[in-house]
A and B are shown apart, each in its own frame.
Chain A
């Protein structure tokens, strides 16, 4: 059958670019049409071949594909072979081979299922063989079953048995060639030994060569027109924290993981600055997070960064895709049990706030119920203060700084136990695997206990040669009784311990937190602040989450060329969040309990139940064909994605009728109830066509049409295409010998993303019983533009990748440009219009541009030692391209070519010499804002190193983000509260101890003249004259006003030693003696060291809100295989 019969290249070439989209739309139709024309060839041991003037290698590959036979040969020998032409139909193997080897200098011999090539006329002389025996092992010391062993000189061939053993006849001085798919072939020269133990190394380049792409299709990396980076699951399975995402930090260029120090907080994952779609075994579930995938289940993680990469997933994958492939069975054949246990405990901190301990709580040097600007401590003075033992205020309590380490003393060792056991069996007809994972995380603050249990089951069945079924199911449950205690506005632990209480008390004396249970605290404050132990044990925010996910994939190989896949994916969640506090004198009543009601001194109970499901179902027909030098790879399919999210929440109102009646039934007034419901359906049809030429030039087209329920009727259906190409230069041009492979690639794609659910609903806001019995309503404050089109993003990407120095060194460079246009934006409009926002397709457009570089390879490699290193570097920024005449704000930084992440703020007004201008002794804070810098980092990087020496391995991962400004809340606010160590100076001493309110701020004051500003805050006229500031004010007032000067914004750059593991695996012999297949032990560490100028807080999470201390975790890992 001729290629052009079913995919007419002429049509493609003829059409203009405007017609391209139409062509792509028609691709599915073409594919369907061709189905009717093709008569399926029947799979058999006989061979059908029609090739003209092709290399022997091509013939061999075709035969390997059609039969179970494997060719074994030396490349050098093939170089001299002539090309052949052949045209046979259902011919027996021998007939085909004889045709091929006619007129060749080579002949062949068949051993079992292996066809061995040898030079013609070469005699198998020397009949004096020795019997050589041995065993072939993989890098973990496990036997390799079915490895080929060939004597180079005699072409004698054998295979290893089920235990990895072989025996073969060979002479001293001859060479054994040992090979196995996926492993680097080794050559062993026979010496006097008669027994060999040969270990093969996994061919790492093979691993990166095949990647999983959209819809779960495995493709050769060199054929891709976009950037893909793969992380093998086993790289993540030694240092196991609470979240596998943390272990991914720095491993992929363009992938930024922001790790939080808060208890139960998930890392934020950004791919090229956007959130990526998580796809597990081909299913883009709606409700799964990386947390729902146990680390040990992961076979591999493939990050699809490029636009064409994720095109087939549609708008949900606009930011890229994170593809997880899970394990479906044992790695070898047979039965196995694997245990992987990692235990880590905290050992010190990478970042923790420091406080001054010279002055106690109070104001203006006097002990008080608020602030930490109180009396000088440790100078023999006393005050009326709380006695935590007698639980009352008493006179003559000594003012001493016994609470210097209150925060540290309040924390305790954090623990992470991450245990996994998996049982797997792989047989002829399929495989099955059950994994059970348990994570226990004890946080650093009291009563923080998180449990996560995951049960997964996966397997595959080969029902026939053509029909394969795969299934995966996971059940995960997480629960914690108390996750409260972070943040400023939530009045968490740092708010109490660092910000607003002094060091004149020792927190350890307050563990008995009740004076009168459920009435009065044992606490020195009667306002604002609570005993932190009371928060830990009585103001409880509990969570419970349950997630179930399942998928079934059916694969039907219709014939050699066509394959039909049907995949059903479903997930379901049911979560509960509760807040409760007793009726008692609690003071820190803020916080985001459901409905924003906060804690309540009259008692409070709040519960929110959320549940929902999503289903994603695909039907995909794919076609693969190799014709002469062309390979065709095409598919067409459809998806239905549908989800429903529901929530029901209730909060008691005006207190509880009895102190601990934690139920909506305990509400004093009728409880506040609210309900949520959200749903969307997307129906899609899509197709892809890939054409490869000579394994060197590849071309990809995709097209997808969505029907999205959230779009208005007129724009509900929308189409978006992509095109990509890869050219393997090394296959086309003779390159220097050091270059093994070099390719360039490029791609272009358009994405369209629909409106948010209900975005086009214009509904009234209503309040039941807004005042007594009156209900109130308000008209929507947002306007809705006409004919809202889906937002569009056009991306192009170019890149290059290559292997050098015999595949020792690999590099990949990608530059991308993503243009955001037609954006649906709920943009601000002047309040005087009567409305606050309007939802429109703005004319304001911007581009995201970025560069990603990955270089990896063996820095040092010899017999026993290898240092494999990977460097990832990436950056990306957004830049305005066009502005909207109406909706773009008028200021100095929303400008064409300017970055979007401008960091702006008001500022201290200065004179032309840069001196801070003072008014009445205080620095003047401008009414205008200006650009201070940028909020996002200049670049981020990862430096991943693996050292192996015999059975030892050492992993060292370093990563960081450089540049960017961030508001340092804790540092800034401590100047206000009075706990900042910088405030412990002579001026404060003079004020508190000597009673002098005569601090004079450094700077100038205005003595005459005035200044005018334009609307941007730029000076238009200035006649001011200055003198040195000489107005004295109290130091406390000055510090509270001026804070740390300009330092409220700090550079958030950091470099972290993220992970270290030092491991030893038992030699297989020792393991066998112990009755094990394998065993290894590692010392592990996560979040070990940090270099940063950001004060008191770990900037990794990219926001400062009184972040909890950043814990260093160290421990050990034990892996055992049975």
Chain B
């Protein structure tokens, strides 16, 4: 009897094991609160929000590119970008692209498959473009193949190869969108493939204008491509086609600068850290551009001294390269122009476009000036850009003195304005005018670092080089690029080293010019 008891007691754990067989273990280890099944629309939403909103989800991250672009200054503490100190970037834009294959695979019809493939190509082109603009050569052909081809250390491609790839993917997106079906999951254009196609082609022109030093390249065929797109493909028609996210009152969907209701969470806004610069305000003042009254808030010191809010003299700009202490003294003494109250008070001060209709028009104007396209005069594109910028602002600004300072832009003013700043002079002078207008129209708009990239490309508007405050090393010039990500240094060292050797003589240095700029 005793041994029986023993036998059974020893069997207990064995029984416990049997009763918990493998299938039960699989059940145990399946997370009930996460899914393995989604759909194309959800993946599309995630990616589109990421490229339109991801960079600007907080006040401070929204502001950073505009510091580098010299639109404004920031008084919380000395910011590197304001003083041209650029360090390392990351390649997180590339990791987003892993969502594209599953998005395409989940498509439920041929038409949807084409649309999602087209969207995939557009997003790839967009992300690779933004990344290569920062550093130069990047992984392209081998990129995003960690799962499909088990490539964990992608090789770098030359910047030219990357651009060829971007152009080709945009061409494919154009074709696919043309025959794709209206798709779900799109917070911008509600899945309208026509609008996406127009964006794709307009953006391709942006890519091509950045290649203006490479017009002699037989592979790129820059001008040929540009001409063909303008001639044969649909482009954006007005600011309603802007690649822009409209904000609203729902929690987490407020305009990044808004503080609603006043006195709530946005301490950055309440701190009055921002001062608008003369780089932004001087061109507005020089041309009597009323957008100034929509962008800025007058200096309380000037108002107290009796200057009218309708007088541009009430909006003193600061020089962003002045020493931080002198700027701080200026700030605490309150004699400066802050950003307009509408950006702070309205949940949707305006949709923030990362590629806008006026960008397209200024690109076309530039191309016309450079002689790439003919037919329509540059002035027409140029005027279109300015008019749409103004109309857009007027459309989104409630008619309140606090927001337009009684200097309202009506239709007549808007229509008449471009002629007052008409293109004139040499090619170079005209390009300066176009880029300056692009700069002005892109206040709190445009893709990340757009103002700085345009300045790097064209030199306009001119940023003051103050070698006593410039934090770039050496302080006698502006930096030209970001350093490669530390994540690549650590885990993709050999490939990165080869890219740095072939481009920059082995030294990953912010002062070196990438292929695109040569």
Contacts and interface: CB of A to CB of B under 8 A. Distances in A.
A781 B91 CA distance: 13
B497 A601 contact: no
Interface string B38-70: 110111011001000000000000000000000
Contact size range, A: 35 or more
Contacts of B146: 783, 829, 833-835, 838
Given A774-B41, A832-B492, A891-B489, A564 B6 contact: yes
Interface string A570-602: 000000000000000101010000000010111
Interface in B480-506: 483, 485-493, 496-497, 500, 505-506
A1015 B493 contact: yes
Interface in A877-910: 886-887, 889-891
B483 A772 contact: no
B491 A828 contact: yes
Contact of B29 (A363, A760, A838): A760
B102 interface: yes
Contacts of B42: 764, 766, 774-777
Interface string B379-390: 000000000000
Contacts of B326: 997, 1034
A866 interface: no
Contact of B332 (A368, A681, A764, A838): A368
A1012 B506 contact: yes
A831 B29 contact: no
A774 B41 CA distance: 8
Interface stretch (B15-23, B392-400, B413-421): B15-23
B25 A716 contact: yes
Nearest to B332: A366
Contacts of A1040: 77-78
A835 B95 contact: yes
Contact of B147 (A564, A783, A828): A783
A833 B87 contact: no
Given A764-B36, A886-B152, A920 B6 contact: no
A1015 B34 contact: no
Interface in B148-195: 151-154, 185, 187
Contacts of B24: 681
B251 interface: yes
Interface stretch (A5-13, A143-151, A707-715): A707-715
A777 B46 contact: yes
Given A763-B34, A779-B98, A1012 B507 contact: yes
A259 interface: no
Contacts of A781: 95, 98
Given A713-B22, A834-B144, A1012-B506, A774 B263 contact: no
A990 interface: no
A832 B152 CA distance: 8
A763 B31 contact: yes
Contacts of A1013: 507-509
A924 B473 contact: yes
Given A832-B492, A1010-B474, A564 B187 contact: no
A130 interface: no
B29 A757 contact: yes
Contact of A758 (B31, B153, B472): B31
Interface string A676-687: 111111011100
Interface stretch (B310-318, B360-368, B462-470): B462-470
Interface in A25-44: 32, 35-36, 40
A392 interface: no
Nearest to A1038: B325
A542 interface: no
A566 interface: yes
B46 A1037 contact: no
B282 interface: no
Interface in A979-1015: 991, 997, 1006, 1010, 1012-1015
Interface stretch (B218-226, B264-272, B438-446): B264-272
A638 B45 contact: no
Most chain A beta-carbon neighbours within 10 Å: one of B91, B152, B245: B152
A920 B471 contact: yes
A761 interface: yes
A621 interface: yes
A709 B36 contact: no
Nearest to B185: A774
B55 to A, nearest CB: 15
A447 interface: no
A675 B22 contact: no
Nearest to A1011: B473
Contacts of A564: 6, 9
Interface in B93-131: 94-95, 97-99, 102
Contacts, number: 311
Nearest to A589: B265
A379 interface: no
A764 B34 contact: yes
A526 B270 CA distance: 8
A600 B77 contact: no
B271 A1037 contact: no
A927 B87 contact: yes
A766 B35 contact: yes
B426 interface: no
A832 B138 contact: yes
B283 interface: no
A700 B17 CA distance: 27
Interface in A730-764: 757-758, 760-764
B13 interface: yes
Interface string A631-647: 00000111110000000
Most chain A beta-carbon neighbours within 10 Å: one of B22, B25, B493: B25
B500 to A, nearest CB: 7
A369 B13 contact: no
A843 to B, nearest CB: 14
A891 B490 contact: yes
Nearest to A562: B6
Nearest to B94: A832
Interface in B276-299: none
A976 B468 CA distance: 22
Contact of B469 (A763, A920, A929): A920
B482 to A, nearest CB: 10
Contacts of A796: none
Contacts of B12: 566, 619, 638
Contacts of A872: none
Contacts of B376: none
Most chain B beta-carbon neighbours within 10 Å: one of A528, A678, A771: A771
Most chain B beta-carbon neighbours within 10 Å: one of A585, A762, A766, A831: A831
A775 B97 CA distance: 18
Contacts of A32: 10
Contact of A830 (B37, B153, B248, B250): B153
A1006 B473 contact: yes
Contacts of A366: 329, 332-333
A710 B29 contact: yes
Interface in A799-855: 828-836, 838
A683 B506 contact: no
Nearest to B12: A619
Contacts of B87: 927
Given A832-B139, A919-B471, A890 B95 contact: no
Contacts of A558: 2, 6
Contact of B30 (A36, A761, A779): A761
A922 interface: yes
A589 to B, nearest CB: 5
9 contacts: A32-B10, A668-B251, A683-B17, A757-B29, A776-B45, A776-B46, A781-B98, A832-B154, A834-B143
**Top 3 A-B pairs, shortest CB-CB distance:** A638-B13, A1034-B325, A833-B146
Given A619-B9, A774-B42, 11 more contacts: A364-B329, A638-B14, A669-B250, A763-B36, A764-B42, A765-B34, A766-B42, A828-B487, A835-B147, A1006-B474, A1037-B78
